[in-house]
Amino acid sequence: MTVKLQMLGTGSAFAKRYANNNGIISTSNTKLFIDCGITAPLALHQLGLTFDQLDGVIITHLHGDHVGGLEEYGFQMMFRYKRKPKLYIATTLVEPLWENTLKGGMSQPGLECLEDVFDVHPLEPDTNYAIDDELSIRLIQTPHIPDKSSYSLLVNETFFYSADMRFQPQLLEQLVQQGVTSIWHDCQLVGAGEVHATITELLSLPPSIQSRVSLMHYGDERSEWEGRTGLMPFIEPHHVYTIDS
Ligand SMILES: O=c1ccn([C@@H]2O[C@@H]3COP(=O)(O)O[C@H]3[C@H]2O)c(=O)[nH]1
Ligand SMILES: [Zn+2]
Ligand SMILES: [Zn+2]
């Protein structure tokens, strides 16, 4: 049983050298986007893939670098490939994704709600969902922007994907105690970490945690930080990682 994760991009929302921090998680049966941001359609094309080669998408929160590609994804699947993609998303985000993000561009006669475009699978947090025999996903609500719901992903109980979150050392400690062996964490390299964990904060983690952390969602200044990130390597865009075996 092998789950693979390939990042379409590993950049922060404002990065220009790296595409948005979106991934493709795959098993032998299923291929899903993890988020589908503004740069996802072009990044997918640059990898030589098309939207119909994926089964659907898991959404973590409603920022453009995570959902800005969904209009093109939905329209391509509807008009080019004639199939509704699966959409795994927190129950709390179903209505706002349509009303606040997609409705302006997508609504037209026959397209009046999210379910008209996607095969919507609402997820409750802290609950494991078997996507297929090899892949289970649990949403964990984590702090990012005040009063705005945002979720991290726990995959097969062993792999934690922060998506966008502020520094939560106790959560990371608890996850490792519960058997998490790998943590992919967003990382702000410059400035104060108001909505993301900073590299300074992540460097304060003990070696027992740091040794399990890899860094993603970083800015264009990554090259200045090579060799200065403690035990935490940068995730490479496009590299295919095995995250569970
Ligand atoms: O209160 C706020 C809200 C947003 N922002 C910036 O906008 C970006 C939106 O995408 P992101 O969540 O990947 O990163 C965010 C930050 O870079 C911020 O600095 N403070
Ligand atoms: Zn982001
Ligand atoms: Zn965000």
Q: Mutation test of ligand 1: which of 16, 39, 63 has the most ligand atoms closer than 8 Å to its C-beta?
A: 63
Length of the chain: 245
Distance between CA atoms of residues 20 and 134, nearest Å: 27
Ligand 1 pocket at CB < 6 A: 12-14, 63, 65, 145, 164, 194-195
Helix (H, G, I), strand (E, B) or coil at 141: strand
pLDDT digits (tens, 9 = 90+) for 40-79: 999 999 999 999 999 999 999 999 999 999 999 999 999 9
Alpha-helix residue ranges (DSSP H) falling in 97-239: 103-106, 169-177, 199-203, 207-210
| Overall fold of domain 2-244 | Metallo-beta-lactamase; Chain A (3.60.15)
Instruction: Report CA(109)–ligand 2 centroid distance (Å).
Output: 32
Across 13-22, average pLDDT: 98
Complete edge-to-edge strand list for the sheet that includes strand 159-161: 128-132, 135-141, 151-155, 159-161, 182-186, 213-216
> What would the DSSP string read from start to end of 124-159?
-TT-EEEEETTEEEEEEE--SBTTB--EEEEETTTE
Task: Return the DSSP state at 113.
Answer: S
Query: Does residue 245 carry a pLDDT above 60?
Result: no
What's the CA-to-centroid distance between 151 and ligand 3, angstroms? 10
Q: What is the pLDDT of residue 193?
A: 86
Cβ atoms of 69 and 41 closer than 8 Å: yes
Note whether 75 and 83 are within 8 A (CB).
no
The predicted structure's pLDDT at residue 244 = 74
Residue type, 172: L
Extents of the domains making up the chain = 2-244
